[in-house]
Amino acid sequence: MRKFVVSDLHGCGEVYDSIMGFLENVSLIEPVELTINGDLMDRGLDSFRMLLDVERRMDNSSVLIRYLGGNHELMMYQALKNRREGHPIGLSYDWMLNGGKATKNILNSYEKRDEICDRWRDLLGSLKIYHSFDEKIGDKPILISHAAAPKKVDNPCIRKIGDNSVFNYFLLWKREVDEYGCRHMLGHPDYFTIVGHSVVLKYPGFFYNQKQNYLDIDGGCAAYACGEFRLSSVPLVEICDGYLKLFIFNHNNEIVDGYYFDGHKSQMSEEELKAARIFLNPHYNDCEEECKKAILKAWSER
């Protein structure tokens, strides 16, 4: 099975559609699993459409979806929980101030919004907040969490958004330096940690902190959705044993670059990038079998 990770899409429907189309085509030749590392919604105008599409795919899809919670899932969960208890969503100031208005406005336009609100409150509350893989980078297993690794890693994870604990809150909101200038450990000494949450302001949209041994893959969709169009590099990470592949998508249905990462970054060959780009073709399934075999050979070779 090929395992992929993406983080912080923030309602950017163009890149979401590109990535899902890409993975659907890959799944025609090999099973595919996608882990969404939180912050699927808010800021972008396609937030609610993407939420409904992920919900549909979690039940029935050629791509196996694992959806982890981020701080925006936490805020939306709290807002829907407050609504259930009789408080207007608009009073959920954290969510409104952090881009939730775009999601709430579309939600309010649905005729069956009460049913959808209840359903999504339960779904968001059930989301786990980290996941560990058997694959390793160096001698360390790979751990993925939205903002920071927990000090104690349960395998499998038992922590959910709905636990609503202070521990979960900080785990989903931490940045390396907080508003008070305090430094936090985002990685874990026993794991290679992949996080999102903190926007990487430089191309290609990912950053490795060697000292803390974590890789930040937040390519800036939140900023793009708010009009900062120069931030158009969204990493889709493939988890391989011993190394990662990072395919850099933009918001125009293109793979603009690719990298290997095993503790150090190296660029993919143009041949592999060409092979990967073929999976963006919506008519890939119509290719001749011999063509597909050639694509698979080029795609599989490092």
CB 29 within 8 A of CB 72: no
Rounded mean pLDDT, 151-180: 88
CB 73 within 8 A of CB 83: no
Rounded mean pLDDT, 266-272: 93
Render pLDDT for 221-240 as a digit per residue (tens, 0 to 9): 999 999 999 999 999 999 99
Determine the pLDDT at residue 137: 97
C-alpha to C-alpha distance for 62 and 54, rounded to whole angstroms: 12
Q: Which two tokens stand for residue 79?
A: 């807002």
Render pLDDT for 95-112 as a digit per residue (tens, 0 to 9): 988 999 889 888 888 888
Determine the pLDDT at residue 89: 66
Q: Check whether 164 has a pLDDT greater than 90.
A: no
Determine the pLDDT at residue 298: 63
CB 48 within 8 A of CB 117: no
Q: Give the homologous superfamily in CATH for domain 2-300.
A: Metallo-dependent phosphatases (3.60.21.10)
- List, in sequence order, every beta strand (DSSP E) within 220-289: 234-240, 243-249, 255-261, 265-267
Render pLDDT for 67-92 as a digit per residue (tens, 0 to 9): 999 999 999 999 999 887 776 666 56
**Which amino acid does the sequence have at 142?**
I
**192-195/63-68 β-pairing:** unpaired
C-alpha to C-alpha distance for 62 and 57, rounded to whole angstroms: 8
- Domain coordinates in residue numbering, the chain: 2-300
Residue 301: pLDDT band (50, 70, 90) is low
